[in-house]
């Protein structure tokens, strides 16, 4: 029996059912018992694998992307290179190795990592010590100035709230206790203010479920303000949808298999599909432009992943060459990560179109929903 389960039971007994957001926050981020705090969940021996762990090409291309964005900002002598949720530091390590090709870039950057896990901080420190990274628990302590931010599979792990439409109105879905003292989803008896529901979904059919992520909205508002004021860009790569879909995407993964999200709290990953429409809405500003979302396949192909695979394979033996192309397929094939994962960029309106989005154009907020 997990300690977090005991804490959850006690809180529900004392206060009544809790939001899914609160449940995710406790299971993932509790400073003593949280899933992301107590373990390294990545890789074959963990619960899931992210793109940087699949192939060095992923991080290398993001490094080249960051160089071009830095050049678009005027190649400042000092700028902040930031990663949200860096995990093992693999993406940033690969990115900076590629970035070493442009000598002023490594000397100009100050590396900032938003990371709560001491386990991951130790791993990141060993990989990135040359750049003397500074760690942050959240965004509030990031310094002002030009900023290039990378967020790969970060937003999917942020706590969400869920609402279900009934004949009398919208109600929040909560985590309560069953008669056997297990955890179960229940519906709040109190209607919520319809302003919480995105306008596009307010008249959805009865029984519809929608999700919102207030934390993501706050982050995008803060980052957009910084980028609009000082210049720079935010690159978001994650799995999700454009916001037109309603439905329950709250899920759990354990040992690379889907797992009931209310079982073994604190012992499995909890995520939800990212609503890119929500991120776009939260980024609206007169001083920022939004591009995408593109599929991960399109973005990586435009950034030259096939050419990079060919270069790597020229110096590889038969087994390594096979691994290179297996990794390539996993990253860009529509049956793997290629279509499900999306790429969104927010940059300053003073900057050019970001790399990979040259023929897309910025979103028109007057017509975008």
Average confidence score pLDDT of the chain = 92
Beta strand 251-254 pairing with 269-271: antiparallel
State both tokens at 146: 């030009």
Mean pLDDT across 67-89: 95
Secondary structure (3-state) at 273: coil
Instruction: Name every residue whose Cβ is closer than 8 Å to that of residue 18 and which is 6 or more positions away in sequence.
Output: 8, 11, 12, 174, 175, 176
Residue with tokens 């937003």: 155
Residue count of the chain, please give it: 369
Give the pLDDT confidence score for residue 364 in this predicted structure: 57
DSSP 78: S
> Which H or E run contains 190?
strand 183-191
- Give the pLDDT confidence score for residue 311 in this predicted structure: 93
In 3D space, the residue among 242, 238, 262, 241 whose CA is nearest the CA of residue 250 turns out to be: 262
Rounded to an integer, the average pLDDT of 175-194 is 93
95 φ/ψ angles, rounded to the nearest 5 degrees: -65, -45
The pLDDT value recorded for residue 242 is 87
User: In this predicted structure, what is the pLDDT of residue 101?
Assistant: 82
**Pairing, β 232-241 against β 274-275:** parallel
Q: Which of 216, 342, 333 is nearest to 281 (CA)?
A: 216
Instruction: Note the helical H segments in 197-317.
Output: 214-230, 276-282, 296-302, 305-314
Checking if the pLDDT of 15 tops 60, the result is: yes
Q: Name the CA dihedral angle for 328, 152, 335, 357, rounded to a multiple of 10 degrees.
A: -80
- pLDDT digit string (tens) for 273-319? 999 999 999 998 889 999 999 999 999 999 999 999 999 999 898 99
- What is the number of other CB atoms lying within 10 angstroms of the CB of residue 206? 9
pLDDT digits (tens, 9 = 90+) for 117-155: 999 999 999 999 999 999 999 999 999 999 999 999 999
Is the per-residue pLDDT at 265 higher than 80? yes
Phi and psi for 200 in degrees, rounded to 5? -65, -15
- Domain ranges in the chain? 3-33+160-212, 37-157+214-245+270-348
The neighbouring-strand residues paired with 170 are 165
CATH architecture of 37-157+214-245+270-348: 3-Layer(aba) Sandwich (3.40)
Provide the pLDDT for residue 369: 36
> Residue 361's pLDDT band (boundaries 50, 70, 90)?
low
3-state DSSP assignment of residue 90: helix
Query: Given a cut of 80, is residue 77 above it in pLDDT?
Result: yes
């Amino acid at each position: 029996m997990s300690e977090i389960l005991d804490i959850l039971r006690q809180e529900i007994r004392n206060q009544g059912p809790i939001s899914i957001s609160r449940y995710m926050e406790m299971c993932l981020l509790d400073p003593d018992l949280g899933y992301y705090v107590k373990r390294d969940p990545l890789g074959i021996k963990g619960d899931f694998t992210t793109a940087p762990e699949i192939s060095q090409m992923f991080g290398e291309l993001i490094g080249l992307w960051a160089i071009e964005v830095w050049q678009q900002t005027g190649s400042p002598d000092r700028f902040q290179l930031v990663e949200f949720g860096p995990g093992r530091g693999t993406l940033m390590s690969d990115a900076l190795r590629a970035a070493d090709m442009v000598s002023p870039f490594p000397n100009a950057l100050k590396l900032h990592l938003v990371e709560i896990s001491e386990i991951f901080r130790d791993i990141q420190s060993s990989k990135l010590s040359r750049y003397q990274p500074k760690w942050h628990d959240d965004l509030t302590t990031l310094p002002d100035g030009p900023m290039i931010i990378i967020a790969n599979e970060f937003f999917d792990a942020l706590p969400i709230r869920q609402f279900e439409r009934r004949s009398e109105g919208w109600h929040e879905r909560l985590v309560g206790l069953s008669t056997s003292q297990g955890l179960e989803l229940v519906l709040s008896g109190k209607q919520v203010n319809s302003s919480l529901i995105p306008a596009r979904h307010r008249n959805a059919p009865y029984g519809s479920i929608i999700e919102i992520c207030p934390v993501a909205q706050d982050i995008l508002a803060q980052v957009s303000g910084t980028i609009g004021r000082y210049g720079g860009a935010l690159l978001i790569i994650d799995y999700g949808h454009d916001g037109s879909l309603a439905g329950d995407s709250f899920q759990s993964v354990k040992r690379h298999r889907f797992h009931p999200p209310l079982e073994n709290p604190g012992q499995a990953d909890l995520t939800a599909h990212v609503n890119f429409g929500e991120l776009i809405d939260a980024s609206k500003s007169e001083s920022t432009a939004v591009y995408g979302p593109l599929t991960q396949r399109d973005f990586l192909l435009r950034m030259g992943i096939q050419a990079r695979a060919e270069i790597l394979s020229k110096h590889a033996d038969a087994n390594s060459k096979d691994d290179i192309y297996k990794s390539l397929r996993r990253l860009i094939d529509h049956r793997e990560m290629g279509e499900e994962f999306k790429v969104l960029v927010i940059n300053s309106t003073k900057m050019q179109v970001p790399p990979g989005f040259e023929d897309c154009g910025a979103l028109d907020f007057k017509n975008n929903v």
